[in-house]
Amino acid sequence: MTEERYNRQITLKDFGPKAQKTLGGSSVLVVGLGGLGVPVLQYLNAMGVGSLGLIDQDTVELANLQRQVLYSEEDLGRPKLQVALQKLKAQNSETNFHTYDSFLVRENALEIIENYDVVVDATDNFATRYLINDCCVMLNKPFVYGALHGFEGQVSVFNYKGGPSYRCLFPDPPANNEIPNCDDNGILGVVPGIVGNLQALETVKVLTGVGEVLSGQLLLFNGLNQSFQKIRFKPKEENLKISALEETYDIPICHTVPTVSSEELKKLLDGSKFIQLIDVRSFMEFDDYHLQGSHNIPIDELENRLMEIDFDHEIYFLCQSGKRSEVAARIALSQYPSAAVFHISGGLNRYSAVFS
Amino acid sequence: MTVLLFGITKDIVGSSTLSLPVSSTSRLRTVGELKDYLSSTYPRLRNLSSLAVAVNNSYAEDSDKIDNFDEIALIPPVSGG
């Protein structure tokens, strides 16, 4: 049965019976049963990967159906793990499936990943992605990365034969809310299909040694103009030596407040464009001296007077030393996380020292 | 100089490519200076704590040199799956 079933791969020059046998003896963990996980699993399962690990704890929702094509209307409300297992078994009864009814977390990750030859990152969040990266570096496993933004996708194979890891591209996770996810940003249904299929292809190459693995290269796909671009990058020693997982992979909800220097502020003020400069010192201090064009909202009143600020345009907070302005920026960002908020480092003290 | 924009940088700038005239790029010597220049024009870029930059399809550090003929790509991490 096997030979007939995989006949088109066995007769394929450069693949053949040897690669097919290797595939049959291989195991792959697919983390996430969403837009990327679905096509990855459907194809790895069809092509004859011997063992597949599935991990996810979400249930099928109506908004999943435009891109997660394994699920049907009748599956709404059911656990993805259960539905996926049932459908994949029907697709290929020869595959050994292992299911994990949980999310991949710091407490279970090493123990689970240890059992597989390759991990496919089909997650939708940075915390899990960094966790997978660190586990794979520690356990010396390659992982096949895929991620999406709108009409775009990124694909790469990390930690493959001494090649670079995810941290060699992006050393630390971005701050919370810095990068929107699919839920907030939207995604065209077919795009995860394309990116997931590319991941499935790379997984097969990693397992069988056929072709050139996308290691040390980041593939950038843009569906709007059908462009594929490859960026070369190198391993960095410090990212390939991880001896323990981090204490936590939760990304704290604290906003780093971008600063603007006195010199940059001067340039902005001298430019022709109006800038929204909010001086958060007291009324007395403001009355005594202030920069032309600045608007006074004392820090104590800020929360009640946020409506005086135009959050669709850049906002620059200023105070005497740079301390109150940083607090002001945090207050503003807590209410309007995606606004362009800055504070002037060193405040008026530094500005006056440089430009008096 | 051509700057290709991916992910959220494209949304911030409002276009997938920027062509910067020689008059504004000739004094920019490094990747870091280009980032500062772009951030002054598009302040929301400054919010990105994690941003990779490629020069002529190779990953680049802030200190790497650039010139007017280079093609630059801004590559933020993306999270969707």
ipTM of the complex: 0.95
Of B4, B50, B59, the CB nearest to A174: B50
pLDDT digits (tens, 9 = 90+) for B23-44: 888 889 999 999 999 998 898 8
Tell me the CATH number at A335: 3.40.250.10
Cβ contact, residue pair A258, B46, below 8 Å: yes
Stretch A300-314: mean pLDDT: 91
Q: Which residues on B lie below 8 Å from A150 (Cβ)?
A: 7, 11
Which residues of chain B approach chain A closer than 8 Å at the C-beta? 4, 6-8, 10-11, 16, 40, 43-44, 46-50, 52, 54, 57-59, 73, 75-81
**Whose structure tokens read 């009324």?**
A283
Tell me the CATH number at A120: 3.40.50.720
pLDDT for res A342: 92
CA distance A320 to A291: 11
Spell out the residues 6+ positions from residue A171 whose beta carbon is closer than 8 angstroms to its own.
A239, B50
pLDDT digits (tens, 9 = 90+) for A69-87: 999 999 999 999 999 999 9
The answer to the question of residue A253 being in a domain is: no
Confidence of residue B49 (pLDDT cuts 50, 70, 90): confident
Distance of CA A10 to the CA centre of its chain: 36
Q: Do residues A235 and A266 share a domain? A: no
Instruction: Return the amino acid letter for A167.
Output: R
| 3-class secondary-structure state, position B53 | strand
pLDDT for res A272: 83
**Exposure pattern of A284-308 as b/e (b: 16+ CB <10 Å)?**
ebbeeebbeebeebbbeebeeeeee
Domain locations along chain B = 2-75
Closest residue of B to A196, CA-based?
B81
The answer to the question of residue A273 being in a domain is: yes
The model scores a pTM over 0.95? no
Cβ contact, residue pair A126, B79, below 8 Å: yes
Confidence of residue A254 (pLDDT cuts 50, 70, 90): low
The answer to whether residues A49 and A95 touch, using CB atoms and an 8 Å cutoff, is yes
Domain B2-75: CATH class, spelled out: alpha beta
